[in-house]
Amino acid sequence: MKRPTIDRGLVASELRRVERRFMLKSALSLGGLAMLSGCAIDDEPSVEKALATIMGFTDRVQAMIFSRNRVAREFSASQMTRPFPFNAYYDQDDIRVVDETRWRLEVSGLVSDRRPWSLAQFRALEQQRQITRHICVEGWSAIGSWSGVRLSTFLQHIGADTRAKYVKFGCFDDYSTSIDMETALHPQTIMVLDFDDASLPPTYGAPMKIRIPTKLGYKNPKYLASVEVTNIFPGGYWENQGYDWFGGS
C-alpha cells in the first residue's frame, strides 16, 4: 500500500493528522508515542485489537445487509447543494490537475484486457445520471448531480472476473480506496465524467471520479488513475488509518 508522501503543501495538514495516525493502527506504531494522543484507554494495544475485531464484525454485518437491488434515493435538480463543497485530505490550493487528452486509466488485476482507457472511450459508452446525497463520515452531507459510465459496464468491457472480491481504485493525488464486488456491480456505482451537466471540474475530481451513493464519501475516490480487480485485500488511504473498510450507507 502506497503511503502518502509529505510534500510542501501537505506539511500543515499532515501535522494536523499526526495524532490521528497513532490511533487504531497496528500496536507496533504506538509505543512511547501513545503519550501524545491524550487518550489512555484506546492506546492499550489489547483495546485497539478488540475495537478492530468488532469493526470487522460490523463490516461483515454491513456487507450482509447490503443489497444490489436497493438504490439510493434520487433528488430533483432544485434540491442540489450549491455550491457543492470541496473535500479531500488536503486543502483546495493543492488540487492536482492533469492534461485530459493525455490522461489514461490504468487497468490491472483479474481482467482479460489490460489496455489503458482514454476519456474518449468512456464518452462513447452509455451515460447514467444521478442526483444523490453524498454523505461524509464526518456527518455533513450534500446533494450533487453526477453522470458517467456504470462501473459494471466498464468491468464487463475489460473482461473482469466478477467473482473476485475487491475492486481497488488508485488516484493521482496519492489517494486510494477499495470496494467489495457487490457494490462495484450496483447500478448506481458509476465512473463520473460530468458534474452538474458539465465536464467534471478539478475541484470535484477531474477528469474522472467514482460515485457510489451506497457508500460514505471516503469510498468515492476522485482524480482516478487506476482500477485493479483483485482478491488480495487492498485497504485504502483512510481505511488504513482506522476508518471502517465497508463504509456503507
Contact residues for another protein (CB under 8 A)? 19-20, 22-24, 37-39, 41-42, 50-52, 54-55, 57-58, 65-67, 70-73, 133, 135-141, 213-214, 238, 241-244, 248-249
Tell me how far, at minimum, the Cβ of 4 lies from another protein, in Å.
15
Q: In Å, how far from its chain's centre is CA 86?
A: 15
Indicate the residue among 56 and 116 with the shorter CB distance to another protein: 56
Q: Where are the beta strands (DSSP E) in 151-219?
A: 166-171, 176-180, 190-195, 198-199, 209-211
Tell me how far, at minimum, the Cβ of 98 lies from another protein, in Å.
30
What's the rounded Cα separation, in Å, for the pair 22 and 52?
14
| Cis, peptide link before residue 187, omega less than 30° from 0 | no
Tell me how far, at minimum, the Cβ of 83 lies from another protein, in Å.
17
Indicate the residue among 48 and 174 with the shorter CB distance to another protein: 48
Tell me how far, at minimum, the Cβ of 28 lies from another protein, in Å.
17
Indicate the residue among 19 and 113 with the shorter CB distance to another protein: 19
Indicate the residue among 71 and 125 with the shorter CB distance to another protein: 71
Q: What is the CA radius of gyration of the chain?
A: 18
Tell me how far, at minimum, the Cβ of 105 lies from another protein, in Å.
27
Q: What type of residue sits at position 183?
A: T
What's the rounded Cα separation, in Å, for the pair 70 and 84?
25
Indicate the residue among 228 and 239 with the shorter CB distance to another protein: 239
Backbone angles phi, psi at 215, to 5 degrees: -135, 160
